[in-house]
Amino acid sequence: MNQPEPVCLLIADISGYTEYLSTVEIDHAQDILADLIGTVVSSLRPAFRLAKLEGDAAFCFAPAESVDGSMLLDTIERCYFGFRRRRRDVRQATSCECNACVRIPNLNLKFVAHHGIALHQRMAGRDELLGSDVIVVHRLLKNSIVEEMGIEAYAALTGGLVSALEVDAAALEMRSMSESYDHLGEVQIWVHDLERRWQAEDARERVFVGPDDAVFESAIDIEAPPQVVWELMTTPGRRLSWQAVEGVTGITQENVAGRRGVGSRNHCMHGADTIIEEILDWRPFDYLTDRSTVPANLGGFKFVATKEFVPTPTGTRLVIRVAKPRRGTEKRLFEEHMPPLAKGYFEGIAEMVRQAAEVQSERSADRTEPALPERTAATGFLASLAPIEYVEPR
């Protein structure tokens, strides 16, 4: 960015690390921080680019036009869920009883996010993001959320970001408050409780069509990471750009509290006919499962399908599985009317594959990011856990 541009600014901060570091063994603590920071940054890529590592925090950004409210919340939550699982796995992987290992559960993760204008400039041999909005998002790290709300794992979104990305914060049960800062004045923020979301995610029933449940399975290799493929497959505007090839003339979406996820209904219009998709399971950026209702003019049947986004060294393997029809009538209608629908759909998928590679090429051009910290205990207590890393597709 040689000129000021609209950006979404995001800081992921491992909370409790300063206190943790002052009471534990430094060698294990450094490796634990390197591992967790690697997990956080890898989960945010490629939607967000790392601007700078700031001790126990990662300062990231994304062009404003590439992020919408649902995608932002999906990215933050998936990052937090990955952090929680990684924190658990690291603790369970070691029998070491040093303070650094015993106190791993004391570490948590919080986010602050803001929408504004920033300039990318090279200073003293390093790339830096500059601008008043960069100051705002950093000042937000010092807040009274824990004291006033008792929420330790959260995403604090500024009112400006919520407005710009059209997030229905109240409907999503976020809580509003304001903070006052010298030279900045009052800043309204909406607080998203990530611990509550983690518990809901952990308890939610999975709906997944596995190989044994499928009547049909197809795997397509795509030269773009799962986040990019997910965006093209789930965002209405993006979907229409490739599904138009198969004759889709419009896509509208009904969302729960204004956010894509379980319960959302997609209306895919084929001229005068509409196929309705209901989201049954939603696990960004791993898989989604939906139930499609095909109108009478196109066959009059229903089917359940899972789209799985499997990371590969060169990008993503998109695996599509359709569940076996349960009743004889459904099976007959499915076998009679599904082939022409599937043919058109996969013509659209071929266009999506092309677009995904193109999007990834554009976004990865001139990608320069700070290096992540390395673990020093290559054969130590973390050796049994593979590092979490983002592989740039070739």
> What domains sit in the chain, N to C, each tagged with a CATH number?
5-202 (3.30.70.1230), 206-363 (3.30.530.20)
Query: Under a CB-based contact definition with an 8 Å cutoff, are residues 313 and 389 in contact?
Result: no
Q: Which helix (H) or strand (E) holds 13?
A: strand 5-15
Contact between residue 187 and residue 179 where contact means Cβ atoms under 8 Å apart = yes
Q: Is the pTM of this model over 0.85?
A: yes
269 pLDDT above the threshold of 90: yes
**Confidence (pLDDT) at 58:** 95
Q: Determine the pLDDT at residue 256.
A: 85
Range list of H helices, the chain: 17-22, 26-44, 69-93, 99-102, 132-139, 145-149, 159-164, 194-203, 226-234, 236-243, 328-364
The answer to whether 241 and 260 are in contact (CB under 8 A) is no
Using H for helix, E for strand and C for coil, what is the string for 65-109? Answer: HHCCHHHHHHHHHHHHHHHHHHHHHHHHHCCCCCHHHHCHHHCEE
* 320 vs 225: CA distance, rounded Å: 16
Check pLDDT > 90 for residue 258.
Answer: no
Q: What's the confidence (pLDDT) of residue 285? A: 94
CB 49, CB 60: distance < 8 Å = yes
Is residue 50 within 8 A of residue 370, CB to CB? The reply is: yes
Q: Centre a 10 Å sphere on the Cβ of residue 214 and count the other Cβ atoms it contains.
A: 18
CA distances from 23 to 5, 125, 251, 326, 332 (A): 43, 35, 55, 59, 67
Integer angstrom CA distances of residue 175 from 128, 164, 170, 391: 32, 18, 7, 36
**pLDDT number for residue 364:** 77
What are phi and psi for residue 220, nearest 5 degrees? -125, 125
Residue 389 has pLDDT above 50, yes or no: no
pLDDT given at position 173: 94
Residue 381: is its pLDDT beyond 60?
A: no
Phi, psi of 390 (to 5 degrees): -90, 125
pLDDT tens-digit readout, 212-242: 999 999 999 999 999 999 999 999 889 999 9
